[in-house]
Amino acid sequence: MSSGKGKDTDKTNTYEVRKDRVVTNVQGNPINEPFATQRIGKHGPLLMQDANLIEVLARFNRERIPERNPHAHGSGAFGYFEVTDDITDICGSAMFSEIGKRTRCLTRFSTVGGEKGSADTARDPRGFSTKFYTEEGNLDWVYNNTPVFFIRDPAKFPHFIHTQKRNPQTNLKDANMFWDFLTTPENQVAIHQVMILFSDRGTPASYRTMNGYSGHTYKWSNKKGDWHYVQVHIKSDQGIENFTNEEAVKLAGENPDFVQKDLFENIEKGNAPSWTVYIQTMTEEESKKLPFSVFDLTKVWPHKQFPLRRVGKLVLNENPKNFFAQVEQAAFAPSNTVPYQEASADPVLQSRLFAYSDAHRYRLGANFNQIPVNCPFASKFFNPAIRDGPMNVDGNFGSEPNYLAQDKTYQYIQQARPIQQHQEVWNGPATPFHWATSPGDIDFVQPRMLYRNVLSKQPGQQKNLAHNVGVHVANACPEIQKRVLKMFAKVDQELASNIAKECKAAMIHAESRAKL
């Protein structure tokens, strides 16, 4: 038997597929006839002793695992990250140690609100998660294609996601639920993300032609212990391409997997998509001078004040060999980090440190880290107290004691890295703080700048924003429609007026179609 993890000389714990392609049951016993079933006579009842039939049916009943909630519909590919610029003054992680260094990675893109079988052209934010298999452990960047989000109070997340899914009575998508949450005065901090979502960037033409953003603020340190607040930008080298609302809706009916097909076929043809990775950095002193909190997920950092600094290149050049094994079972969590990269005090990020890994324990089991796509193969895993549980397949540390034994030697190298203790110092009582929409105008300043200074320079985008909101809110009741218009009027009165016109036109069109 094994004398320890990874020492299975007798192959007891090694799984291999038969290379002679002889078909067997799961115990390795050859099957003589795949479709013959044991029965009494030719047409009599089946026999319970037909173990192969029972196995096939029982396993079929158990093929599906719980889908992600949210981010159920997704696509993925493997590739690498290559360092192009020296940022060792900002971050001491080994993956950034030298220019030209490559780290293997897996990226999964996804829609957020829809079920696994929903359309991937739907209006929705897109997940943009990358797992880096680094020599210091697996690092997950669990990002989105938008630089902000709808909430900054983590307790609102389940409520928000429920409103984006289905009405519990009708089991239908419900515009009243959707807009009721977003227009509730204390939740209107979502307006910045809503503006992005209902621009054409809410319907990307492909995963290849959209950006990724950390959204959250992180803390990165160099090996001297100097630290900065950091946000990450992953910008598409293919440029940005989006669908109009009508194009996205049409494709949703014709080919709900259009974007997944686009990614797979382009990589298969050798058109490997790439993204240039940048960072924004900020000192603690600079953060104290901001007109908003550095931990506010609904705000962006001004590029003039905090310019983008290039880091490297993300390239996806390898399709998965098996989607279920390598994409559906992939488990991303912001708590999966490496030395010199830490979470900040952003409350939504703090909550995700627990929620994501816990979701995988539920969805994939306690030993989800042993699934090959999630295994830290570049650094290996050793912690003899973390063992047992269902589906433990890595040898379970053999005869290693399941506690820190006095007669064994253990190494701890992280303690030599003075990162956290000299950074932020927190003082104060435990406080139940509801980070609702701020009094005054502060939460509408950046959405207004987006509308007047950014979308105004992109032909047709102000008009499309009003149209996209109008045709969606036309499905809501009159009271909700009034609340939507009132909220957008705080951004720009012209925008609210144009939404009202688009909403009215959509309602008239729906009435005329109903009479046909």
Please identify every residue annotated as catalytic.
71, 144
Provide CB contacts within 8 A for 465, sequence distance 6+: 195, 198, 199, 451, 455, 495
Per-residue three-class SS string for 402-422: CCCCCCCCCCCCHHHCCCCCC
Tokens (6 digits) for 347 = 């409350």
Q: How many helices (H) and strands (E) does the chain have?
A: 13, 10
Element (H, E) at 342: strand 341-343
* C-alpha to C-alpha distances, 389 to 14, 137, 145, 360, 403, nearest whole angstrom: 18, 22, 36, 14, 16
Strand, helix or coil for residue 484:
helix
CA–CA distances in Å: residue 8 to residues 207, 389, 390, 394, 514? 42, 20, 20, 10, 69
**Percent helix, strand, coil in the chain (nearest 5)?**
35, 15, 50
* Peptide linkage before 70 cis (omega within 30 of 0): yes
Burial (Cβ within 10 Å: 0-12, 13-18, ≥19) of residue 331: buried
In contact, 170 and 138? CB cutoff 8 Å: no
Q: Which of 1, 3, 5 is nearest to 376 (CA)?
A: 5
Q: Give the Cα separation of 314 and 104 in Å (integer).
A: 10
Instruction: Say whether 218 counts as a known binding-site residue.
Output: no
Residue 454 CB coordination number (10 Å)? 14
User: Which token pair is 45?
Assistant: 């009842």
Q: Element (H or E) spanning 227, and its range?
A: strand 227-236
Q: In whole angstroms, how far apart are CA 443 and each of 112, 203, 266, 304, 456?
A: 24, 24, 40, 20, 20
The residue whose two tokens read 């209902």 is 198
Contacts for 167 with CB less than 8 Å, ≥ 6 apart: 173, 174, 177
Measured CA to CA in angstroms, residue 394 lies from 12, 248, 293 at distances of 11, 45, 45
Three-state SS sequence of 41-104 = CCCCCECCCCHHHHHHHHHHHCCCCCCCCCCCCEEEEEEEEEECCCCCCCCCCHHHCCCCCEEE
- Asked whether 471 and 173 are in contact (CB, 8 A), the reply is no
Sequence ranges of the binding site: 356
Sequence ranges of the binding site for heme: 356
